[in-house]
Amino acid sequence: MVKRIRIFGVWGQNKYPHFICYIIVLHHKIFHAEKESAPYLTLVHGAGGSSSIWHKQIRTFKEHFNVLVIDLRGHGMSKFSLKSDHIEKYSFEFIANDVIKVLDHLKIEKTHFAGISLGTIIMRQISEMRPDLVDSMVMGGAIIEFNFRSKLLIHFGNLFKYVLPYMILYKLFAFIIMPRDKHKESRNLFIEEAKKVYQKEFLKWFRLTWGINKLLTIFRTTDSGKPTLYIMGEEDYMFLPAVKYLISKHEKSSLLVIPNCGHVVNVEAPVVFNNAVIDFLNSNKHSSNL
């Protein structure tokens, strides 16, 4: 089942409301499990990707769950009216609300979540805004802190984002985050998907990096209280150390490190990733009652 939904929003300004109506069409698809009572699993891709990054998961996951995939704002097959140009600045709360609107539209009252890279931040934001929707979370290639190298990379990108074509910036980021030959498949997949994102949209997403450290600090110091599995690649050198520290502080969090694997764990090690997700989610079927 494929549906596109319209989400309407109203913006207010000072004491005299200035109304801007924007129409957002989010592409989403549900892969139904054979068992009608199967729980839902919502998959959230990262910036520059699309729901197509889950092609190695869907067939396996739908044997156990009703799988919902969504193309985030400006990605994949999600499309927007020209009126969306009025929205100059995105926030993680703004993006998370898009996903919440889809869930509410589909009348999904509770779902497990699995995400990759920047998608893990969106999931964590949803757990803050609507904890009632979140059963448990799987964080693949989780971003919970930027080290010195990644901060330098973001600073460089912000300095040159209006000078260099956005694809040059994206390719540079992809090679730094996924540098090895064995990361080539996931690196190329994200680069190809990023080509579908308009430059103006890319810049709006890139601006999310401003102030992200403050948000991540909150997430690191505040336990969501939801059962959470972090699945990280052994070679995800930019983000793995911070995750190792975090799980020692968050009571319901656990970590699986996949050997000889980089940042995009679901693409590089799909069998290990899939089995780990299924085992974890099945063990947390009734986590909402904990």
Q: Can you tell me the mean pLDDT for 63-89?
A: 75
Least confident of 59-68, 206-215, 261-270: 206-215
Question: How many other C-beta atoms lie within 10 A of the C-beta of residue 192?
Answer: 13
**pLDDT tier at 290 (50, 70, 90 boundaries)?**
very low
Contact present, 101 and 219 (Cβ < 8 Å): no
234 φ/ψ angles, rounded to the nearest 5 degrees: -60, -30
Contact present, 62 and 31 (Cβ < 8 Å): yes
Residue 249 pLDDT > 50: yes
**pLDDT tier at 33 (50, 70, 90 boundaries)?**
very high
Return the half-sphere exposure (C-beta side, CA atoms, 13 A cut-off) of residue 207: 13
**Residue type, position 73, single letter:** R
Residue 147 pLDDT > 60: yes
Fold of 33-68+110-289: Rossmann fold (3.40.50)
pLDDT tens readout for residues 130-141: 999 999 999 999
Triad 8, 104, 26: Cα angle to 5°: 50
Residue 288 pLDDT > 60: no
Contact present, 119 and 45 (Cβ < 8 Å): yes
- Per-residue confidence (pLDDT) for residue 131, from 0 to 100: 96
Question: In terms of C-beta distances under 8 Å and separation of at least 24 residues, what long-range contacts does 148-156 make, across chains too?
Answer: 149/176, 149/238, 150/238, 150/239, 151/213, 154/209
Share of the chain above pLDDT 90, in %: 44
Least confident of 58-62, 96-100, 200-204, 268-272: 200-204
What is the spatial distance between Cα 41 and Cα 61, in angstroms, rounded to a whole number?
8
